[in-house]
Amino acid sequence: MHTDLTAKSWGKTIEQIRQCHLSLIGASQATTENWKEAFDSLIKSIKEERVSYPEFASELKDLTEATGSTYDFTDILEEYFDHLEDKHAWQIIIDSCDELIPLFKWQSNAPSEYMFRKGNALEKMGHIDEAGEFGEEWLKKYPNDLYGVASNVFLMVEMKRYEQAEALIKKHLTDDLICDKTTDTFFMAAERLYEITDNINAKQRIEKKIAEYNEMIGK
C-alpha cells in the first residue's frame, strides 16, 4: 500500500490531530473549532493525496496504514464525533458526515456509525421529516444494517409510530442474536420501544441480553 505521501498538508494535519487527541487526557486543550479544523485538514489531505494517487486509502480502515501514522483514524473520528455530540454541535455533525461518507468506498462495511450520527443529529435539530427520509434511504441501501434499523426505530418511537417500529424490531430480532459491540445500539432501540409501549415481558428479555453483554465487558 502507498505510504510515500505527496500532499504537503499531512504534517499539519497530524499535528492538529495530535493536539486534539492529547486534550482527551488533559495534556492540551482543544475546542470544537480546533477539532473541526483538524477534521477539515484531514479531509483536505486525503483529497490532495488522491490527485497523485486516486486509489489512496479508498477504505477508511486503510487510512492508518496508508499514511504510516501511529493513529487509528477510526478511533480519532470517533473521538471527534463524540466531542461534537457532547457539545450538541448537531449541524457540524451533519456537515462532517456529508463530507466523510462519500470519501470512501465502504465495500467491506457500511458507514453505519456515521450514518447513525447524522440521523441522530437531524432528529435532535427537529428535522424529523428529513431524518425519516434519510433513514428510509439508509435501509434501502443497507437493509440488514442493524445501526440503520436502530436509527429508524428511535425515530419511529419519537414519531409515535410504534407498530412500524415493532415490526422492524421483530424482523431482525432472532433468538440467536446476541448483544455485543456491533448490536448494542439495536438492543437499546428495542429497549426504548418496549419501555415506551409498556411491553414489560419484551423489555425484560431485551434487558437480560444487554445485561449479559455489560457483564461480559465489565460495565
Grid cell locating 39:
477534521
| Domain identity same for 103 and 145 | no
In-domain check, residue 104:
yes
The total of structural domains in the chain comes to 2
| Domain identity same for 17 and 104 | yes
Torsion over CA: 166, 172, 173, 178 (sign)? negative
| Domain identity same for 147 and 208 | yes
Q: Which residues of the chain have pLDDT under 50?
A: 1-2
| Alpha carbons 35 and 17: distance in angstroms, whole number | 8
| Domain identity same for 59 and 106 | yes
| pLDDT score at 1 | 44
Residue 161 burial (CB count, 10 A): 16
In-domain check, residue 124:
no
Q: Which domain holds residue 206?
A: 140-219
| pLDDT score at 55 | 92
In-domain check, residue 133:
no
| pLDDT score at 170 | 96
Of 37, 32, 39, 125, give the one whose Cα is nearest residue 76. 39
Question: pLDDT over 70 for what percent of the chain?
Answer: 98
| Domain identity same for 165 and 59 | no
In-domain check, residue 129:
no
Q: What b-and-e string marks burial along 49-68, b requiring 16 or more CB atoms within 10 Å of the CB?
A: bbeeeeebbbebebbbebbe
| pLDDT score at 27 | 65
| Domain identity same for 107 and 2 | yes
Domain boundary residue among 68, 90, 111?
111
Distance of CA 115 to the CA centre of its chain: 6
Contact 44, 90 (CB under 8 A): no
pLDDT tens across 60-118, in order? 999 999 888 888 999 999 999 999 999 999 999 999 999 999 999 998 888 999 999 99
